[in-house]
Amino acid sequence: MHITQLKLTHFRNLAAFTLTLPPTTPLIALIGPNGSGKTSVLEALSLLTPHSLRGADNKSHIQQNKPQAGIWAALTTHSGDNETGQTLRGGERTLTINGQRQPLENLATLGSQVWLTPETDFLFSGPPAARRKWIDSATTALNPTHATAVQRFTQHRQARLKLLIHNKTKPVAPDWLEAEERLAAEWGLHVLTNRQNYLSQLTPHLTTLSLKLSGTALEVLQTENPLAALKGKFERSREIDAKLERTNAGPSTLDVQGTLTLEEQNIPLHQASSGQHKRALVHWLVAHTRLVKSQRNQPPLVLIDEFSAHLDTPRRHLLLNELLTLGCQVWLTDVEVPPNLPPQAHIETMGEKTA
């Protein structure tokens, strides 16, 4: 995915933003003070995929006191040139691709993205939900159908939970609950399998980092009938799920564990220092990019917020060289122009806060 044109209207603190680029532009550096809208541009770009940069709700993307926001982008992919448009109004987000209305999960067919932000610096010390979102975004980059599987599983998991909660005061039809559990199990099995397949394919590209899924939901993959096993987990957890009003079985309970190996020392990422954590994420980013290019013949779009905060100057230079050699288009933000940018880089100076 290479962006050739981006237009934003009333998006976060940007009343209007337009940028047109030659198709071969390898790197775009958004330079400016805090509050100038640099991260807002990256957030808008991330909405060209099913998984956004910050995971914020649609309403927070709309400029204050405005009824709606708009994102329009022209981009080149392995399948050719495409145009996408999105309108955000209230809690709704509508999408068109090449003039045709599309479900949001179809964004995965256009290409993939990967990003480093200040929030990812705490990925393995934060809540498991952030890591599940992270692994699902990475998995979708390799398997675009995963976005649909996650969306369908979430839909039926939430519908099942609502029935269980409602059932505490007014009984619901058993067949209705059984149907939601069956559908949640069917889509949940896709989610489990896709996540496992992604990590299996990623592992050969990793050297100093290892990643694995953890949680009892993985047990179903070792059974003769994984679908029945997962559905059984849902059935057995009905009472506790209704009592706690959350799902306590299945893919939504999994976690991702990581270990960094440095000088023959294995360091769990949840115990790693800030610098070690950043080093592990950069290692994953490069390995993921290599994997996606090898499997899909199209490297991901790379977004790096607060570029200078992640690595020292020599390592930043090595990272950019690696990503650009792989054919990625890189968008980064910083308060000053980083040294040693390639001559083809486009430097976009952002002004003071626009709203």
pLDDT digits (tens, 9 = 90+) for 93-112: 899 999 999 988 888 888 88
pLDDT at residue 56 in the model: 66
Tokens of 158: 């939430």
> Is a pLDDT exceeding 50 seen at residue 354?
no
246: pLDDT strictly greater than 90: yes
pLDDT higher than 60, residue 244: yes
Total count of residues recorded for the chain: 355
| pLDDT given at position 38 | 92
Question: Tokens 């145009």 sit at which residue?
Answer: 83
Considering the entire predicted model, what is its pTM?
A: 0.88
Q: What per-residue confidence (pLDDT) applies to 200?
A: 96
Mean pLDDT is highest, among 37-51, 196-210, 307-321, for 196-210
Whole-number pLDDT of residue 352 = 54
Q: Is the pLDDT confidence value at 113 over 50? A: yes
Query: Using 50, 70 and 90 to split pLDDT, how confident is the model at 17?
Result: very high
Cβ-Cβ contacts under 8 Å for 350 (sequence gap 6 or more): 30, 31, 32, 33, 36, 37, 38, 41
Q: Please state, rounded to an integer, the average pLDDT across all residues of the chain.
A: 90
| Residue 275: Cβ within 10 Å count | 12
Distances from the Cα of 341 to the Cα of 29, 258, 324, angstroms = 9, 32, 11
State residue 55's pLDDT score: 67
Element (H, E) at 303: strand 301-304
353 pLDDT more than 70: no
Per-residue pLDDT tens over the stretch 172-191:
888 999 999 999 999 999 99
Question: 249: phi > 0 → left, psi -120 to 50 → alpha, else beta; which?
Answer: beta
- Mean pLDDT along residues 38-50: 91
